[in-house]
Structure formats: structure tokens, C-alpha cells
Amino acid sequence: MPEKTVVVIGAGVAGLTTALLLSKCPGYKIIVAAKHMPGDYDIEYASPWAGANYMPVSIRGTEAAEWEKATWAPLEDLARNHPEAECEIHRREKDAGSATADWFAELLSPEPWFKDTVPDFRPLPKSSLGPGVDAGTVFTSVCINTAIYLPWLVSQCLKNGVTFKRAVFSHILEAAGPSVCPGKVDFVVNCTGLMASKLGGVNDKTVIAARGQIVVVRNEAGKMVDVSGTDDGDGEACYVMTRAAGGGTILGGCYQKGNWDSQVDPNLAIRIMKRAVELCPALTGGRGIEHLDIVRHGVGLRPVREGGVRIERERVGDLWLVHNYGAGGAGYQSSYGCAQAAIRLIQDAAGPQSRL
């Protein structure tokens, strides 16, 4: 079987995971071409900004749930040498119908689909719930340190012979052109995230930004916590995540649909820190936000797609396009499942190559 050439557009978690898993299969020459690479921080590049923990949000019975389910085991395996942390989910009845509570609908369920996927899932005893919290659950989760995970994905790809190239495409078909690869390209895999909304030949207007603002601090909370909502407006959220391997603690946040503003809102930053300290007094030993030791403030845009992630194949002339974009706030926790689904589409079109 002659080697197939695959150009993956995008070096976020979607593109890198797809390239890495495909590089484990024989018969493919893989080039990752992207405007942004690990090490960059930019509003068009969501992956470095993520928490990023495993906190499933997909609806029971959907393909998205299968993709999140398929991602737990590889992430848990990677985390084995690092301490896993408990993740508490707090539900307040008064948040019902808010943007955050809708986003977290399955997460807030006392019987979510993932209760047998993650270890130690159980309800929180009523006595342990803070004021205003009506119910809660807790389970063991992992939290990825994106600053080391993305370069690690690159290093694993390089080890398997994947090559990397900086490139900015105005049309998807440019990725199959001679500036990327002088020979014939068989597949272009579109992992452009939010920018799929602006890429020529794709222009998917169902992909929109859901703005997230975070504060990274050196303080430790000892656990991860997520609440169904806040008292500060519909688009605001409250969560605390501790990244693995000294990556600091992420205080969040918000979920502002349609907002592309790349600048930190200082008032929102204060609200985020106040809510976090109230939720996890251990962060500052019961003291105020002036005792938070800030590493940085950040803003990232989640690539939310109406109808969920697009994993599809299409034929243009003698070229196959395979899409894997639009993971919203779940790009890490569904990364393996989505990459595997995209690779199946490549393998089915490429003929009987070896399976994953």
C-alpha cells in the first residue's frame, strides 16, 4: 500500500492528538501546518488557555458522550504518575435555566452517564455543602497542565516522524499546495477550531466563540470545584482547577457566547477571584483576594459549534477533507475520542491500512 500524505491544519489539542494517534499507524506521512504552535498565546488559539480538566458536559446517548468516554482512559493513564484530584460539582436550584447550568446539564445530574467511567463517583453528603448549595457530587478527575502537555504532544509526534510547519491559510485547499508539501497530498484534516468560521472553503458560521476569562495563581485549593452558576449574571461561572506538575491553579470564569474580546476585563477578574476564595477558603487560608499570588490573567475563546463537534469527510477532486473542529469547552476531555473518530474516516477512505 503506497504511503498516504496527510496535512493536519492546526496545532491545538485537536490537531496534535489527531496527528499523534495517526502517526502510530503505518502508511502515513504527516505534516502539521498551523498559524499557532505550542508556546504561543493568542486569542485565535484556544488550547493553551484551557483549565484543562476532565469534567464531562456531553449529553447522555450522544456521539459526544462516546468521545468523552473514550478519552478518560488515555488521560488517566498519562496522569498516573501525577496526583489525581477530587473534583466537586455543586448544584444550586436557583441557577436552573442559566447559560452555565444549561452547559453543565449532564455534569449536574446526580446520575450522569460518566459515573461509571471516572473513579469514586458519589453524591456529596448534605452536611458538607456550603450555604446556598442544594446538592453535589464528587469524583476523581485529572487536570492537564497545558503548558507542558501541548509540547509533549509535539515531541511524541516528532518522535514518530511527523513534521511541523508554520503556515496561514486563507482557503482550506491551500493546505494541499506545494508550499506545504511538494508531492501529492491525499488528506487535509481540518482542526482549525474557532477559525473554521473564517477559513475559506469551510466558513462554518455555526461555530461561535464562548469567551472564557481565567486567573492563574500559585495558591493551592487542595481540590477542584465547579458550581452550577453565580449571583453575578448569566454568562459568569465559578470553578477552581489545579493543574498537574506545578502548573498552578486556574480560577474561572465565564462562558460569554458571541464575545470575541481578547482583553482581560479587570472587574470580572476581581469577581472571579472573590468567588474562588469564597468557594475554596484554603486558597488563601481564609483571607482575602490580596493573598492570591497571581501568575497571569488570561482570556481564551472556546470553539462552540451548534450541533456539536464536526467530524466529517468530504471529497474535493482527488483530495479528501476530514473535519475535526468545534469542541467548545470540551476539547481536551474529548480529544482522544474525536481524534479516533477522524482517523477512522481517514482509514476508511485510504483502504485497508492498519487500525489504531
First-residue to last-residue Cα distance in the chain? 17
Is 192 annotated in some ligand binding site? yes
Q: What is the biggest distance separating any 2 CA atoms in the chain, rounded to whole angstroms?
A: 66
Q: Is the Cβ of residue 95 or residue 204 nearer to ligand FAD in the bound state?
A: 204
78 lies in the binding site for ligand FAD (CB under 6 A): no
8 A C-beta contact, residue 18 and residue 191: yes
- Contact pick of 6, 7, 8, 13 for ligand FAD (by CB under 6 A): 13
And the C-alpha cell for 297?
490573567
Site for ligand FAD in 212-231 (CB under 6 A): 212, 214
- State in angstroms the smallest separation of the CB of 310 from ligand FAD: 11
Confirm whether residue 17 is marked as ligand binding.
Answer: no
Supply φ then ψ for residue 73, to 5 degrees. Answer: -60, -45
Residue from 36, 69, 297, 323 in contact with ligand FAD (CB under 6 A): 36
Sequence-distant (6+) residues with CB within 8 A of 92 are 132, 133, 134, 227, 228, 229
Map the footprint of ligand FAD across residues 227-286, applying CB under 6 A.
252-253
Judged by beta carbon, residue 144 or residue 283, the one nearer ligand FAD is 144
337 binds ligand FAD (CB under 6 A): no
329 labeled binding residue: yes
Q: Segment contacting ligand FAD (CB under 6 A): 215-223, 229-237, 259-267, 294-302?
A: 294-302
Residues in the chain: 356
Q: How far apart are CA 234 and CA 251, in angstroms?
A: 18
122 is an annotated ligand-binding site residue: no
| Using rule CB under 6 A, residue 310 touches ligand FAD | no
* Grid cell at residue 149: 502537555
Q: Scanning residues 83 to 142, which ones bind ligand FAD (CB under 6 A)?
A: none
302 touches 329 (CB < 8 A): yes
The alpha carbon dihedral of 58, 61, 67, 72 has a sign of positive
Question: Looking at this protein, which amino acid is placed at residue 353?
Answer: Q
Which of the stretches 20-28, 89-97, 295-303, 341-349 binds ligand FAD when contact is defined by CB under 6 A? 295-303
The answer to whether 35 contacts ligand FAD (rule: CB under 6 A) is yes
CA distance 147 to 151: 7
Among 5, 6, 7, 10, the residue binding ligand FAD under the rule CB under 6 A is 10
Taking CB under 6 A as the binding criterion, the range among 22-30, 222-230, 300-308, 315-323 that sits at the site for ligand FAD is 300-308
3-class DSSP assignment, residue 137:
strand
Verify binding: residue 12, ligand FAD, rule CB under 6 A.
yes
Contact region with ligand FAD (CB under 6 A), list: 3-11, 101-109, 225-233, 281-289: 3-11
Rounded to 5°, the CA angle 110-50-7 comes to: 115
Residue 155: its H or E element: helix 146-159
Inter-axis angle of helices 13-23 and 146-159, nearest 10: 30
Please state the closest distance from residue 100 (CB atom) to ligand FAD, in A: 13
11 touches ligand FAD by CB under 6 A? yes
Name residues whose C-beta falls within 8 Å of residue 148's C-beta, 6 or more positions apart in sequence: 245, 247
Separation of alpha carbons 224 and 183, rounded Å:
49
How many other β-carbons are positioned within 10 Å of the β-carbon of residue 168? 10
Cα 348-337-80 angle, rounded to 5 deg: 135
Residue 56 is a binding residue for ligand FAD (CB under 6 A): no
Task: Give the per-residue contact string, 142-181, with ligand FAD (x = CB under 6 A; - = no).
Answer: -------------------------xxx------------
Which positions make up the binding site?
A: 192, 239, 302, 329
Chain contacts with ligand FAD (rule: CB under 6 A): 9-15, 34-36, 45-47, 49-53, 167-169, 191-195, 199, 212, 214, 252-253, 300-303, 325, 327-333
